[in-house]
């Protein structure tokens, strides 16, 4: 059974595109790869530069779900009569143009036309986005999607579009975030003094400190070495990263069964570019823009990889239980953990308009 699960998961996951703890590289252009030579499109032909950090054909569980959207879009523009010979899609994968941090600012400026995004990438335009991935704030992906429907977050989405980034569709939660430790954790008090590597922001650091752990920030490239040398004794990440990037069953085999945060990912387009794409104005005969961005006709909104990510998460949890250990679940500890994480971040979000937290609480 273990062997079969391992083979299955090995096929599905090699390296994650948006692995927690490795999804936030330094904000400098990578210069990796050589972009294909560009020639100006013919008059009346729309050009779309699509930038992504990972390879176009990635078998990792996270990357496979994300790239399904790219493959669908590629087929759309090559085969659909509304796009054929009228739309040029140029995909720059493997960070040929930008890493994912820089891709966000490049998108907003119009240097590229489409990429992926997520709340932590949008913080640079409004810190309220940070609430959506802060430890303990969002219960699960269903809660996240309900929050987006509230007036304050609808306005936040419109504000983002006004600054150059239009969200085409939310694709799913690429992985729940957990705590992994080298020592057995039977209660939250056992976290005291554990050196725990975290991957993102002041919120995670404050939450870990409030739990009694010692937060240690490290680049993802240094995590395994730090585990081997006992510089750290725990890691904050998701199951895909834990199993296939860091091989955590070898170093931190104990998983605390409490979700720290979610990792929502969306498909985005440059607002001005999208507005320039021809539209028909008739939903019975949609044009290019409707087929890209309309909430009914848009191809990105017709796909839903959320069930895929949910299924992959369940498979990976099953594999973790077979190859490592899951600490006991305690309802009181679950409530205490959530409240501790929320309280630890109050100072960070004190300057935000309270309407955002009110909206999050109203959507529970």
Query: 275 and 139, same structural domain?
Result: yes
Last residue of a domain, one of 314, 338, 353: 314
Inside any domain, residue 244: yes
* Contact indicator for 136, 254 with CB cutoff of 8 Å: no
Q: Per-residue pLDDT averaged across 92-106, rounded?
A: 91
Q: Is residue 208 part of a domain?
A: yes
267 strand-pairing partners: 116, 169
pLDDT tens digits for range 343-363: 998 888 898 999 999 999 999
Q: Does one domain contain both 338 and 213?
A: yes
Q: Are residues 165 and 244 in the same domain?
A: no
Per-residue pLDDT of 26-81, as tens digits, reads 333 333 333 444 555 677 899 999 998 878 776 666 677 778 888 889 999 999 99
Q: Is the dihedral of CA 299, 294, 77, 84 positive or negative?
A: positive
Residues 205 and 296 in one domain: no
- For residue 101, is pLDDT > 90? no
CATH number, domain with residue 90: 3.40.190
Residue of 223, 251, 253 whose CA lies nearest to 319: 253
Residues 185, 89: one domain? no
- Supply the pLDDT for residue 296: 84
Parallel, antiparallel or unpaired: strands 254-261 and 325-326: parallel
**8 A C-beta contact, residue 214 and residue 284:** no
The whole domain housing 296 covers 2-32+45-175+267-314
pTM over the 0.85 mark: no
Query: Is residue 38 a part of any domain in this protein?
Result: no
Q: How far apart are CA 356 and CA 353, in angstroms?
A: 6
In a shared domain, residues 96 and 205:
no
Same domain? 255 vs 287: no
The verdict on 127 and 28 lying in the same domain is: yes
Based on the fold, state whether residues 119 and 254 are members of the same structural domain.
no
User: Following DSSP, what letter does each residue of 19-53 receive, concatenated?
Assistant: -TTTS---SS----S-PPPP-PPPTT-EEEEEE-S
pLDDT of residue 58: 67
pLDDT at residue 12 greater than cutoff 90: no
Q: Is residue 40 a part of any domain in this protein?
A: no
Number of domains into which the chain is organized? 2
Instruction: Say whether both 189 and 81 belong to one domain.
Output: no
């Amino acid at each position: 059974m273990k062997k079969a699960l391992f083979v299955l998961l090995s096929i599905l996951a090699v390296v994650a595109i948006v692995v927690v703890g490795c999804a936030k590289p330094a904000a400098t252009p990578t210069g990796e790869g050589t972009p294909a030579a560009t020639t100006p499109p013919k008059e009346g032909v729309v050009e779309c530069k699509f930038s992504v950090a990972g390879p176009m054909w990635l078998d990792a569980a996270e990357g496979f779900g994300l790239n399904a959207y790219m493959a669908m879009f590629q087929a759309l523009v090559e085969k659909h009569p509304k796009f054929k010979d009228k739309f040029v899609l140029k995909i720059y994968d493997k960070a040929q143009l930008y890493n994912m941090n820089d891709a966000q600012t490049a998108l907003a400026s119009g240097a590229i036309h489409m990429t992926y995004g997520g709340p932590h990438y949008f913080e640079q335009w409004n810190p309220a986005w940070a609430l959506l991935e802060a430890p303990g704030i969002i219960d699960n992906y269903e809660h996240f999607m309900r929050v987006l429907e509230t007036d304050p977050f609808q306005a936040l989405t419109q504000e983002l579009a006004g600054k150059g980034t239009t969200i085409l569709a939310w694709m799913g939660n690429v992985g729940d975030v957990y705590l992994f430790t080298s020592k057995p954790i039977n209660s939250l008090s056992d976290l005291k003094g554990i050196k725990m590597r975290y991957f993102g922001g002041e919120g995670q650091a404050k939450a870990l400190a409030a739990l009694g752990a010692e937060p240690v920030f490290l680049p993802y490239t240094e995590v395994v070495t730090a585990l081997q040398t006992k510089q750290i004794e725990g890691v904050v990440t998701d199951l895909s990263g834990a199993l296939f990037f860091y091989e955590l069953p070898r170093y931190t085999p104990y998983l605390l069964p409490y979700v720290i945060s979610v990792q929502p990912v969306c498909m985005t387009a440059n607002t001005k570019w999208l507005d320039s794409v021809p539209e028909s104005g008739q939903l019975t005969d949609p044009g290019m823009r409707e087929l890209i961005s309309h909430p009914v006709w848009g191809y990105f909104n017709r796909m839903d990889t959320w069930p895929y990510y949910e299924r992959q998460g369940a498979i990976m949890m099953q594999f973790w239980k077979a190859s490592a250990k899951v600490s006991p679940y305690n309802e009181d500890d679950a409530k205490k953990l959530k409240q501790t994480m929320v309280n630890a971040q109050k100072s960070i979000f004190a300057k935000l308009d309270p309407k955002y937290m009110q909206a999050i609480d109203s959507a529970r």
